[in-house]
Amino acid sequence: MSSSLSVHLLDLTATRALIGSGNDQLLEVIRTNFADDLAHDDDWFRSEIERGAPTAYEALSAVVHGGPFSDDKEHAFQYGYAYKRLCSLTGSFLDNSSFTPHRGAWLSVVDEGLTALGITAVSVEAFGYTDLPAPLPWTYMPGCGEWTPEQIAQALEQFEATKRKGHAPPLEPEVVDAVMQCIGWMRHAENRPGYGIVGFRS
């Protein structure tokens, strides 16, 4: 079974602030302009919704209002996907061609490539963990992680230090492509003060 990685460039502080903001105007805009997307997601998760999981819009409303969240941990995935929707609407999609689709331990393989180049401040495998902002409940899927502006700046410094040494370790071509895609993400963020990267694995 393959996985996908969705990567977004956005203002981390502003996006986190949407959680619990009570922004009903935002909810109405999403419900009006993205009704087909919401309906598609409800169709995809129809069996879970029939067992009591919130609909896509109900989950989105709970995230924007800071709750209430279902007590059933089996339903927590909907809040993760609702946060992913907020990130996709407030941020910019970044090229994920080296990561979608991917199988097995590919993210850790790319991390090994980053480490070989001296880059330890960021990790693509961290996008597979679940690190949703509070108060969103924990969920196994989708995985979520973020690279802060500080981590990105440090990672780029590490990359430049390796370049100055003039010695690049041998890496498989596909790993090089994936690592350079990560560098590209960080270059985009570097040019936007306060911007970071949020990734979702599903």
3-state DSSP assignment of residue 70: coil
> In the sheet that 143-147 helps form, which strands lie side by side, from edge to edge?
92-93, 5-11, 195-201, 143-147
pLDDT (0 to 100) of residue 138: 92
pLDDT score, position 167: 72
Mean pLDDT of the chain: 94
Q: Is the pLDDT of residue 1 over 80?
A: no
- The span from the CA of 15 to the CA of 123, in Å, is 21
pLDDT of residue 150: 97
pLDDT higher than threshold 80 for residue 153: yes
Task: Please state the rounded mean pLDDT for residues 181-188.
Answer: 97
Q: What is the pLDDT of residue 195?
A: 97
Q: Which helix (H) or strand (E) holds 28?
A: helix 24-33
Q: Above 70 in pLDDT, residue 156? A: yes
Summarize the confidence of residues 68-86 as an average pLDDT.
Answer: 95
pLDDT digit string (tens) for 42-58?
999 999 999 999 999 99
What H or E segment, with its residue span, contains residue 183?
A: helix 173-190
pLDDT tens readout for residues 90-149: 999 999 999 988 887 999 999 999 999 999 999 999 998 888 999 999 998 999 999 999
If pLDDT is split at 50, 70 and 90, which confidence band does 26 have? very high
- Helix (H) / strand (E) element for 144: namely strand 143-147
